[in-house]
Amino acid sequence: MTQLDYPDPDLADDLVRLRRWRMSDLPCVEEAASDPRIPEGTTVPAQYTVAEGCAWIERQMSRQPTHWGLSLAIADVATDEAVGLIVLMHRKMPGTAGLGYWIIPRARRGGRGTRAIGLLSRWALTDAGLARVEARVEPRNEPSLRALRKCGFVTEGILRSHLYIAGGHRDVVSLSLIPADLAL
Ligand SMILES: CC(C)(COP(=O)(O)OP(=O)(O)OC[C@H]1O[C@@H](n2cnc3c(N)ncnc32)[C@H](O)[C@@H]1OP(=O)(O)O)[C@@H](O)C(=O)NCCC(=O)NCCS
C-alpha cells in the first residue's frame, strides 16, 4: 500500500488552504454535525457534544499515522478558519485512493469544494505518485458531480446498490482521475 505523507508545504491557492486538523477546529465540526447530509454519509456525529467533536478531530489526526490515508481541513485562506474536510483514503489496490469531502452549509457555493478537490487530486497524482483517485457520488448530488467534473474527473458508470447508507442500499456514480487526465 502506498503511504501518503502530508503535503509540505500545505496545498493552497487564493481561496483555500488544505491543512492539518487542530482541536481549535471544533466549531467547524459542530456546524457539520448540524447539517442533514454530512452525518448521514460520514463519521461526523449527528448528536454533537464537545467530547464527540474532540474524538472526531482526534480520529482525523490519526488517519495519516495509522496508514488509513490523509484527512485535511479545508480552511479559508484569509482567516484560516476550517470550513470543510477533504480526505484521501487508501484503497486495497496499490496506487489508488478514494476521495471524500464536505463543506459546512454557510461556506458552500463559493467554489471552495471545487478548489479543494482540484488541489488535492492533482497533488495525489503528481507529487504523491498515485495512479488513480476515485470518487463515488449519489446520482442526485449535483454540486458534488459538478465539482468533480470541473476538476477533470471522468464518469465511469453506475455502481448499483453500492452504498449502504441510512438503512438502505443506494446506487452511486463512479468517477476517477488518472495522470493522463491532467495533461488534457
Ligand atoms: C459537494 C460540496 C462539497 C460542494 O462544495 P461547494 O463549496 O458548495 O462547491 P462549489 O462552490 O465549488 O460548487 C460546485 C459546483 O456545484 C454547483 N452547486 C453548488 N451548490 C449547488 C446546489 N445547491 N445546487 C446546484 N448546483 C450547486 C456550483 O454552482 C458549482 O458548479 P459550477 O462551477 O458549474 O457553477 C458541498 O455541496 C457539500 O458539502 N455537500 C454535502 C456533503 C457532500 O455531498 N459531500 C460529497 C459527497 S460525494
Q: For the CA atoms of 12, 16, 17, 21, what is the dihedral angle to 10 degrees? A: -160
Please tell me whether residue 10 adopts helix, strand or coil conformation.
coil
Domains of the chain in sequence order = 11-182 (3.40.630.30)
What's the mean pLDDT when you consider all of the chain? 96
**Could you tell which of 44, 99, 114 is best to mutate to test the pocket of ligand 1, judged by most ligand atoms within 8 Å of the CB?**
114
Q: Is the CB of 145 under 6 A from ligand 1?
A: no
The CA-atom distances, in angstroms, between 4 and each of 36, 63, 68, 97, 108 are 31, 10, 9, 10, 28
Show Cβ contacts of residue 71 under 8 Å, excluding neighbours closer than 6 positions: 21, 59, 60, 61, 63, 64, 85, 86, 87
Distance of CA 1 from the midpoint of ligand 1 (Å): 31
pLDDT of residue 77: 98
If DSSP codes are grouped into helix, strand and coil, which group holds residue 130?
A: coil
Q: Cell numbers at residue 107, please? A: 461556506
Average pLDDT rounded to a whole number, residues 101-129: 98
- Better-scored residue on pLDDT, 183 or 72: 72
Could you tell me if the CB of 110 is within 6 A of ligand 1?
yes
pLDDT tens-digit map of 146-160: 999 999 999 999 999
137 within ligand 1 shell (Cβ under 6 A): yes
